[in-house]
Amino acid sequence: MLRNWYFRLLFSYFPILVLTFFIIISLSFIAVSEISRTETKKADGISTGYTVDSIERAAHEIEMTVSGEAVKNANYAAYMNHSANQEIKFGVVHSLAAIVENNELIESVYMYRESDGAVLTKNGQTDLSSFGDRAFVEQAWNHRDYRGWSPIRAYREYDGAEPVRVVSMYKSAPLPFGNEGLLVINIRLYGLEQMISGMTNHNVSFLQITDATGQTVYPSDNGVDRVRAGKVLTASRSDALNWTFESGLQSGQLFAWVSVISYAWVAVALLTFAAALFYIIWITRRNYKPIQLMISRIQTLQVRSDGAPVKLDDLSRIDRALENLIHQTIDYEKEQQESVLIQRRQLFIDLIVGGWSQETHLRLRKLNLLRESGQYAVISIKLNQDEEFQNAYSSSEQNMMKYALGNVMQELVRNEGLEGWGEWTGPDRIAFILAAPAECAEMKERLRGASSAARSWMAEHLRLSLSFGIGIVVTEWSQLTRSYKASLSALDRQLSIGQAFVTDIEDVPSGRQVEMFKYMQLCADCVQDFRLTNERWRERLDGIFERLGADAPRDEDVHALLRLLLQMLGRELKELSASLHDCFEGENADDWLRRLLAAPSLSEMRIRLLEYLNEIYRTYVAVSETKNYKAMITEMRGYIQENFADPDLSLKHLSDRFQITGKYASYLFKQEYDMKFVDFLVQLRMQHAEQLLADSADTIQNIALQVGYANAITFGRVFKRTIGVTPGDFRKLKIRPSAPL
């Protein structure tokens, strides 16, 4: 009997079912009630604690944001000190408006100046007597030492306005230790209610919040939902807000369910056990029927083949039959290893990559995929922003869109009177071999038309951004490799040549080698002017892009040059201040770099780069203006140019003259002119010496005295080391003086 798989299944399942069922029932009776109550209370406590933490965190963040802005922004203190500058007042108003707009929980922030009773809000300045919140201001001024949030109150900015429920905090201003007025922060209670509602499921639990005076904070309907509120499970207090939080389950929820289920447990358990026994017997018999039918057929087959059945159990018979089937399948797969699709793709790769041979010719004729004579060209297509495409769509959606792209391209080339054959050559690239009769005129125009139409259709219907590279037109199959390489070369120059993401190899300048090292010097000159706050840096940047447009380098070279320019600028500026460092490091810099690299053309890249550099330039100029060394270094340079002939001119002389240390004077020169003071002085003296040697007949001794050297020998040695020739040879060879510093 045990040879029959049906009975073996039944005898295997029954003991496990019975034992497991009764163990589970026993444990459930003991644990379910207590666990339900304990876990419910724990979950309610965690949920309430999270709500308290979220509200406190939101209030604290608002306090820190406003306080931080009031401390960092000098306009706040200037306003409290009765500055007459209107720009300071406008700066404070703009800052208050920005704070309110950037945080939806903030109802308003305003400043009160006690000396003249002025109140400044985001809407402007008014007198305390006409201010709608004057009662609170007067109360706050009388209790300036209070620290914390107020109870719930009604706030209106002007008389007659609709009151808004808020909680408020005030601080003595200017921060941190001023006593000239108040800075008042009002948090909209409605925003906190919405925040709490988003964290509370009213169908299951309830939450009641009251402030220190007993006013109901939440729910705002003053207890309408308390009719359904059950027992309070968790009570928590927020010291920061002086609020009390009480929460629990709504009446008729989990505890009622547990009570009901405890009475019906036995009946349900018995019914479940009986149903499980019946189901196992029924489903085992039903599932065994296909196996029984299969075994009957296997036995019939064995009788026909062997003549006598072998006595085996059911599983052994199935195993033997499957083993025979596997061997037959392996043999069949070996015979069918080469499929038509694999042959097509391999043939396509051989044609465009360069594996041309007589065998390739025969395979192509056999499959009849291209006409044997005529004109041929290869178009390479690339998915722009492939990483976003991979993240936005599932694998099946990607395959569907790629399939659609191939079909659309096939249909459009047919409309242009061309024949097309395309295969994917990479995850984000597909190539098409297009053919036309030899007498077909204007094939390039047809290729451009098909490419533009395909790009527009995919962008409109599937929101896919594509780039097209059109190769050269050839007349033989064996020349398709040249056309494919030309299409890739065109595809790599989308930025400089591409017109609406379609680039023809004929538009690429031929025979010109792009010398990228020359661009490095152009970038260095642009960075130098930028660092010296010379407005010519924009002209230099325009010159770089004009030259890129003329040279038509590859896109990857343009991107590398862009990164080089930003790196050179970052090395010069980012260590000057924290704000400049943030311009080159962090999420903002990464976002800008992504925008620049995603630019579809050089003109768009130039616009985005100029916008980015203008932002950095404004920050740099602001930082430079806060450091008043610019005026000092300019005055110092003028003094040196007027007194360079003084033999006693030195760092000590400058430090005494300008009341700074010699080390700081040297640092200013290094920072501003990228050279030491001594080198600057020597170059200045040598340039004047060159001019005197070229324009006058004075002796070398007199010239040495005129440029600050008491000894002609010392002068001659320094001159030769700097210029490369002696003063006498310089005059004899009539060398032209160098440009002045």
CA 360 – CA 349 distance, rounded (Å): 11
Contact 352, 480 (CB under 8 A): yes
pLDDT digits (tens, 9 = 90+) for 360-386: 777 777 766 777 777 888 888 888 766
pLDDT band at 2 (very low <50, low <70, confident <90, very high): very low
Mean pLDDT of 178-193: 88
Identify the CA nearest to 501 among candidates 541, 546, 444, 458.
458
Are 159 and 130 in a shared domain? yes
Are 605 and 633 in a shared domain? no
Q: Which strand (E) or helix (H) includes residue 181?
A: strand 181-188
CATH number (domain holding residue 671):
1.10.10.60
Identify the CA nearest to 166 among candidates 153, 157, 156.
153
pLDDT at position 223 is 46
**Max avg pLDDT among 100-114, 230-244, 335-349, 672-686:** 100-114
pLDDT surpasses 60 at 707: yes
Are 448 and 583 in a shared domain? no
Mean pLDDT of 686-715: 88
**CA angle, corner 520, sides to 514 and 522, nearest 5?**
95
CATH number (domain holding residue 499):
3.30.70.270
Mean pLDDT of 105-124: 89
CA 555 – CA 613 distance, rounded (Å): 21
Q: Of 184, 213, 241, which residue sits at a domain end?
A: 184
Mean pLDDT of 57-71: 88
Are 97 and 148 in a shared domain? yes
pLDDT at position 185 is 93
pLDDT at position 195 is 85
pLDDT surpasses 50 at 630: yes
Are 620 and 546 in a shared domain? yes
CATH number (domain holding residue 123):
3.30.450.20
More confident of the two residues 667 and 451: 451
DSSP 8-class letter at 492: T
Mean pLDDT of 296-319: 61
CA 584 – CA 473 distance, rounded (Å): 46
Expressed as residue numbers, the domain containing 673 is 629-733
Q: Please report how the helices 602-626 and 537-551 are oriented relative to each other, as an axis angle in degrees rounded to 10.
A: 160
pLDDT digits (tens, 9 = 90+) for 220-241: 654 444 445 567 878 888 887 8
Are 158 and 207 in a shared domain? no
Residue 442 belongs to a domain: yes
User: For residue 135, which amino acid is it?
Assistant: A
Q: Which backbone phi and psi does 380 adopt, to 5 degrees? A: -100, 135
Mean pLDDT of 683-697: 87
pLDDT band at 347 (very low <50, low <70, confident <90, very high): confident
pLDDT at position 227 is 43
Mean pLDDT of 659-670: 75
pLDDT digits (tens, 9 = 90+) for 458-484: 888 878 888 888 888 888 777 778 888
pLDDT band at 626 (very low <50, low <70, confident <90, very high): low
Mean pLDDT over the full length of the chain = 80
pLDDT at position 452 is 85
pLDDT at position 392 is 75
Which strands, in side-by-side order, build the sheet including 124-127?
A: 124-127, 118-121, 106-113, 181-188, 164-173, 153-155
Per the structure block, which two tokens stand in for 157?
A: 């900015």
Q: Which long-range contacts (CB under 8 A, 24 or more apart) does 595-600 make?
A: 596/562, 597/559, 597/562, 598/385, 599/495, 600/494, 600/495, 600/498, 600/501
CA 425 – CA 65 distance, rounded (Å): 53
pLDDT digits (tens, 9 = 90+) for 530-583: 888 888 899 988 988 888 888 888 888 888 888 999 999 888 888 777 788 888
pLDDT at position 500 is 58
- Using a cut of 0.85, tell me whether the model's pTM lies above it: no
CA-CA-CA-CA torsion sign (553, 555, 558, 560)? negative
Mean pLDDT of 270-286: 78
pLDDT at position 110 is 92
Identify the CA nearest to 156 among candidates 181, 196, 186.
186
Contact 397, 488 (CB under 8 A): no
Residue 57 belongs to a domain: no
Share of the chain above pLDDT 90, in %: 4
pLDDT surpasses 70 at 1: no
pLDDT at position 313 is 63
Residue 299 belongs to a domain: no
- Say how far residue 64 (Cα) sits from the centre of its chain: 27
Q: Of 254, 278, 306, which residue sits at a domain end?
A: 254
pLDDT band at 16 (very low <50, low <70, confident <90, very high): confident
Identify the CA nearest to 226 among candidates 242, 211, 248, 243.
248
CA 424 – CA 427 distance, rounded (Å): 7
More confident of the two residues 348 and 419: 419
More confident of the two residues 483 and 101: 101
Per the structure block, which two tokens stand in for 130?
A: 């006409």
CA 182 – CA 174 distance, rounded (Å): 8
Q: Which strand (E) or helix (H) includes residue 609?
A: helix 602-626
Identify the CA nearest to 473 among candidates 445, 511, 453, 502.
445
Cis amide linkage into residue 600, ω under 30° from 0 = no
CA 218 – CA 221 distance, rounded (Å): 8
Residue 38 belongs to a domain: no
Are 612 and 650 in a shared domain? no
pLDDT surpasses 70 at 511: no
pLDDT surpasses 80 at 253: no
Per the structure block, which two tokens stand in for 259?
A: 């009570």
Are 636 and 620 in a shared domain? no
pLDDT at position 187 is 92
Contact 295, 289 (CB under 8 A): no
CA 285 – CA 292 distance, rounded (Å): 10
Residue 408 belongs to a domain: yes
Are 402 and 464 in a shared domain? yes
Residue 738 belongs to a domain: no
Residue 275 belongs to a domain: no
More confident of the two residues 705 and 358: 705
Helices (H), 86-244: 86-102, 134-142, 189-198
Per the structure block, which two tokens stand in for 723?
A: 């210029």
Mean pLDDT of 20-35: 73
Residue 167 belongs to a domain: yes
Are 385 and 498 in a shared domain? yes
Number of domains composing the chain: 5
CA-CA-CA-CA torsion sign (100, 101, 105, 108)? positive
Return the minimum-mean-pLDDT range out of 143-157, 261-275, 473-487. Answer: 261-275
pLDDT at position 217 is 84
pLDDT at position 167 is 92
Q: Of 137, 164, 184, which residue sits at a domain end?
A: 184
Are 370 and 482 in a shared domain? yes
Are 622 and 645 in a shared domain? no
